[in-house]
Amino acid sequence: MAKRKESHDQNNDLGNDQNNDLSNDQSGSEEKFMDRKRPPKPQGRRSVEQLKTKTAKATPSSGAKGATKGASSKPVAQTDFEDRSLEALSQAGYFNEILFELRSGKEATVYVLEGRDGPFAVKLYADSRARSFQDDSLYKEGREITDHRFQKLRESSKKLGVPLEQALWIAEEFWQLEELYAASVRVPRPIVHMGRALAMELIGDAEEAAPRLADLRLSPEIAAIAFEQSVEQLILMLNLGRVHGDFSAFNLLWWQEKVYVIDLPQVIRISQNSAWKSLLERDVQTLCTSFARLGVRKNPQEILERVWSGKKG
Ligand SMILES: Nc1ncnc2c1ncn2[C@@H]1O[C@H](COP(=O)(O)OP(=O)(O)OP(=O)(O)O)[C@@H](O)[C@H]1O
Ligand SMILES: [Mg+2]
């Protein structure tokens, strides 16, 4: 995790760090400037329990992870989790324990898991029957996938019982994370995707996940900095040919004085989607509206012009 922050910090914010310099006398300053509208969310260990199979028992002869092999203890196929994607993640050794449920959103629940190298986040998408993919056609226009990726996805979605359409939607979020992360857009580092589960860097730590900007009250100065950073991320994405498609303070996290962009399955590539200009305008509008609640009042038209002028080529 530390490594990742380094690389982002080096390529920081289109060189705007001078304006946004918070580095002096930061001890406790964030505390001073902001407080939460609501207490931190971590809710529902109950839900975590529900993820486990009712029958799973960690007996030495069960064949579950950690079981001792012996003549009298034949491995018996047994699963720890009802959810097949989570089970696959567990079988592949990605995590030891589910620490807590972080937040439940429209289409997924995010959990914090304990892995070999510390805590990480898993976005576990809900059963696709709970949502309609028709609404996504705007974002899916022109999406292409290589044969190799398609075959792999088809096999794994079949194995894990995930409809191909949903598997594609989730994989798209993972690929977007990969590309944006590699290009130093401030997004969580992607780890792996399996079926309905997308594992990524946890923004925050095991005690406290990063809050969404929408959940904070910030001083005017800090709010203005957060807005500037958000616009910078938007411009960075645009210069990579991407439009987020849901760019609001609900999908922007604030951690150690930095904005992180999350929630990317609907991201579009401007070369492939004719609706990109109107989606970009909508993103700018949404950003301005959601920051107005934080006390930052900006004219969306002016911001859009700034975004255009930041676009290279
Ligand atoms: N990598 C992460 N690190 C820390 N918190 C995260 C991370 N990813 C997601 N979250 C938290 O989980 C919440 C839900 O994630 P996300 O927005 O990706 O899912 P969603 O189902 O689309 O949610 P919504 O319907 O609220 O938009 C986020 O609002 C954020 O609080
Ligand atoms: Mg979201």
pLDDT-derived band at 81, boundaries 50, 70, 90: confident
56 is in which domain, residue-wise? 45-201
For residue 113, the domain's CATH number is 3.30.200.20
Whether residues 159 and 235 share a domain: the answer is no
- Residue-wise pLDDT for 228-262, tens only, equals 999 999 999 999 999 999 999 999 999 999 999 99
Query: What DSSP line would sit under the chain, residue for residue?
Result: -HHHHHHHHHTGGGGGGGTT---TT-TTHHHHH-EESS------HHHHHHHB-SS----TTS-STTPPPBTTB------SBSSHHHHHHHHTTS-SEEEEEEEE-SSEEEEEEEETTEEEEEEEEPPGGGS-SGGGHHHHTT----HHHHHHHHHHHHHHT--HHHHHHHHHHHHHHHHHHHTT-S-PPEEEEETTEEEEE-SB-SS-BPPBGGGEE--HHHHHHHHHHHHHHHHHHHHTTEE-S--STTSEEEETTEEEE---TT-EETTT-TTHHHHHHHHHHHHHHHHHTTT----HHHHHHHHHHH---
CA 246 / ligand 1 centre spacing (Å): 12
> What is the model's pLDDT at position 53?
74
Whether residues 227 and 174 share a domain: the answer is no
Closest ligand to Cα 191: 1
Q: Lowest-pLDDT range, 149-163, 172-186, 227-241? A: 149-163
Whether residues 114 and 247 share a domain: the answer is no
Residue 6 within any structural domain of the chain: no
CA 121 / ligand 1 centre spacing (Å): 9
Does 274 or 21 have the greater pLDDT score?
Answer: 274
> What is the model's pLDDT at position 124?
96
Residues, beta carbon < 5 Å, ion ligand 2: 105, 251, 263
The model's pTM: 0.80
CA 76 / ligand 1 centre spacing (Å): 36
Whether residues 159 and 303 share a domain: the answer is no
Residue 7 within any structural domain of the chain: no
Mean pLDDT for the stretch of residues 141-169: 90
For residue 240, the domain's CATH number is 1.10.510.10
Whether residues 187 and 50 share a domain: the answer is yes
Over 60: is that where the pLDDT of 21 sits? no
pLDDT-derived band at 47, boundaries 50, 70, 90: low
Whether residues 243 and 118 share a domain: the answer is no
Note whether 253 and 294 are within 8 A (CB).
no
> What is the model's pLDDT at position 37?
47
Return d(Cα 171, Cα 152) in angstroms, integer. Answer: 11
Ligand 1 neighbourhood includes 153 CB (under 6 angstroms): no
